[in-house]
Chains A and B, each alone.
Chain A
Amino acid sequence: MGAADKIMTQGLDQTQFDQWFDQRFETKMAQREEAHVSSLAIIATKGTLDWAYPPFILASTASALGWEVSVFFTFYGLELLKKDLKLEISPLGNPGMPMKMPYGPQWLKDINWKVPNIVMAGVPGFEKVATGLMQQTVKNNGVASIEELRSACIEADVKLVACQMTVELFGYSPDDFIPEIQDWIGAASFLPVAQKSDVCLFI
């Protein structure tokens, strides 16, 4: 005889039992929700200065909210775990990227320079210049550097894991990377983490 049958034989009819169950269910669910720690799983796949921001901003902020955070770095995303960050930006083929001067009078700063793709592709060092301008813009606006955000993540115990296959594919040396990487794993190890997370993002 199940618990429900027992309760009914003790004088509760179906309606009373349903009421009791609904109430109990609500209480239990509320308890469960209270005890639940939210979690975020990010798959970081890009290795440019602009795309380095979303994973580190979201991971550090989630950890500040008390969430458990794991970030899986794969393909070009591994650049974000290098000891020596040499992240660059490429405006080439990115029409959404505003091209503005971070220096000079306001009227000059306000101009959005529409540089033709052929110029961006043909001028040597164009990406270096664009990277320098982006770094200055970031500084002018009080936006954190990638190093700073990465340190914040490490301090907050964000779990940084790296894709083993990519290291071999691109011929990286494990010495190139920060020692805070918690594990070198494959897709089969990260997917179960992603499955259990409340929020999972592919960036």
Chain B
Amino acid sequence: MNTQATQSLDARGLNCPLPILRTKKALTAMGSGETLAILSTDPGSVKDMQAFCKQTGHELIATNSNQGEFEFFIRKS
């Protein structure tokens, strides 16, 4: 899936809770409506990103999985 991202974050090799902490940090510096693309290798981040977006009101536009790598697109609320 091709989604245009304003910024990207490489969280590969990091484990819980670092992908979420880095995501939150990156989103803080972004404007409302902008999209952040995140790469992660932590399998736990799939459920955590969903929970994070549900709690914080950001929109999880897409989740892709490819050979142990996960890609998330989050639109800032």
When A and B form their complex, what is the total count of cross-chain residue pairs whose Cβ atoms lie within 8 Å? 39
Task: Decide if A66 touches B56 in the complex (CB within 8 Å).
Answer: yes
Task: Decide if B17 touches A142 in the complex (CB within 8 Å).
Answer: no
Of B13, B15, B42, B52, the residue contacting A64 (CB under 8 A) is: B52
In the complex, how many residues of chain B place their beta carbon closer than 8 angstroms to a beta carbon of chain A? 17
Task: Decide if B24 touches A64 in the complex (CB within 8 Å).
Answer: yes
Task: Decide if B55 touches A66 in the complex (CB within 8 Å).
Answer: yes
- Residues of chain B within 8 A of A64, CB atoms compared: 17, 20-21, 23-24, 52, 56
What residue in chain B is nearest A57 (Cβ atoms)? B17
Task: Decide if B21 touches A60 in the complex (CB within 8 Å).
Answer: yes
The CA-CA distance from A142 to B22 in the complex, in Å, is 13
Interface residues on A, range: 10 to 19
Q: A57-B16, A141-B15, A142-B42 are in contact. Are A65 and B55 (CB under 8 A)?
A: yes
B-side residues, CB < 8 A to A, are: 13-18, 20-21, 23-25, 41-42, 51-52, 55-56
Supplied contacts A66-B55, A142-B42, A148-B18, 12 more A-B pairs, CB within 8 Å: A64-B20, A64-B21, A64-B24, A64-B52, A64-B56, A65-B52, A142-B15, A143-B15, A143-B16, A144-B15, A144-B18, A156-B24
A-side residues, CB < 8 A to B, are: 57, 60-61, 64-66, 141-144, 148-149, 152, 155-156
